[in-house]
Amino acid sequence: MWIKRPDDVKSSEITDEKLYISRRRFLAAAGILGASGAGLLACNTDARGSGSADGEVAAAGQEPEKPNTYEQITSYNNFYEFGTDKEDPKQNSAGFHPQPWTVHVEGLCKKPGDYHFEDLIKPHKIVDRTYRLRCVEAWSMVIPWEGIPLAEMIKRFEPQPSAKFVAFTTVLRPDEMPGQRRPILPWPYVEGLRMDEATNDLTLMATGLYGKPLPNQDGAPIRLIVPWKYGFKGIKSIVKIAFVDKQPATTWNIAAPDEYGFYANVNPEVDHPRWSQATERRIGEFRRRQTLMFNGYGDKVASMYAGMDLRKNY
């Protein structure tokens, strides 16, 4: 099994400093860059408040970043159930039905059962969270999600103390998901989190983006967002949540155990066996950026991994 190589690492795009500088000089001369020269990159100096009460939970010392466009977020996707090319999920998901939707909750908790999507959402306040998403393929985006903190949702199911992990499952609908008719991955897609990761303040069950319900290609109607981990932890179109006492199997770890671990914390110091994780390309940008430890969210999450060897627990 395999995951596509970083499709953005093409020699035509690996820009040396000289070319970058001369391009900036050209743009400056052409009046395209502002006086500060800040126009080219959607960088931290381009901060603007989202205006929402909750807003971005930014890493210490970092201002909220400018989100990618709705078009970028909904037309450059990984959702192998709809095909392996970045355009496939948008092109092949029009026939997917995210309504009606039921999430089955089971395992070590006091309130298991089948929850209709509307009932699942109803008791909670929908919050806005703009997060960086860092794909293991070395590209990234900034996405203005909306949703429910997973910690709040979990509280309602009253997990037992014996529940140490939460396991998630994507819907299995080969009739609506053409990728599931081929053995691209073992279907259905499954993921999991340790209980402390699942209940961390940053962890979100996303139900929308840019103020609209999640489009099919982004994981309608409900998907997981774990912003300090590689994007593949963010399982889409969830139909099952299970509270378990042992570390659950995860799809990419089953498919390629030497390449993808359970933890999948963003770590620029641990290369993927087939490519570097030191830098990334923000979709829509020209120059590569340094990848940040824990995707820049270390102040909120690093303590959960104290004492763990993050080279072994990749």
Ligand X SMILES: Nc1nc2c(c(=O)[nH]1)N[C@H]1C(S)=C(S)[C@@H](COP(=O)(O)O)O[C@H]1N2
Q: Which one-letter DSSP state was computed for residue 31?
A: T
DSSP string, 256-314: -TTT--S--B--TTS-BTTB--SEEEETT-SS-EEPPGGGGTHHHHGGGGTT--TTT--
User: Cα dist. 111→84, 123, 136, 173 in Å?
Assistant: 37, 15, 35, 27
In the bound state, the residue with its beta carbon closest to ligand X is: 231
User: Which residue of 56, 65, 81, 128 would you call a contact of ligand X, by CB under 6 A?
Assistant: 81
Nearer to Mo ion, 101 or 294 (CB): 294
79 binds ligand X (CB under 6 A): yes
Work out whether strand 204-209 and strand 113-116 pair parallel, antiparallel, or are unpaired. Answer: unpaired
231 binds ligand X (CB under 6 A): yes
Distance CA 276, CA 284 (A): 20
135 binds Mo ion (CB under 5 A): yes
Tokens for 308, please give them. 């763990």
User: Which residue of 67, 83, 147, 234 would you call a contact of ligand X, by CB under 6 A?
Assistant: 234
**CB-side exposure of 217: number of CA atoms within 13 Å?**
21
SS3 at position 195: helix
User: Which residue of 89, 231, 234, 296 would you call a contact of Mo ion, by CB under 5 A?
Assistant: 231
DSSP string, 39-80: TSS--GGG-----SSS---PPTT-PPPPPPPHHHHHHS---G
Nearer to ligand X, 157 or 230 (CB): 230
Nearer to ligand X, 108 or 222 (CB): 222
Nearer to Mo ion, 24 or 86 (CB): 86
Tokens for 261, please give them. 């671990």
Over the window 268 to 297, marking each residue x when it contacts ligand X by CB under 6 A and - when it does not, the resulting string is ------------------------------
User: Which residue of 101, 139, 232, 262 would you call a contact of Mo ion, by CB under 5 A?
Assistant: 232
In whole angstroms, how close is the CB of 149 to ligand X at the nearest point? Answer: 19
Nearer to ligand X, 108 or 150 (CB): 150
Residues touching ligand X, count (CB under 6 A)? 16
Nearer to Mo ion, 169 or 277 (CB): 277
Distance CA 297, CA 226 (A): 10
133 binds ligand X (CB under 6 A): yes
SS3 at position 249: coil
Which positions lie near Mo ion, rule CB under 5 A? Answer: 78, 135-136, 231-232
Binding site for ligand X (CB under 6 A): 77-81, 133, 135, 170, 189, 218-219, 231-232, 234-236
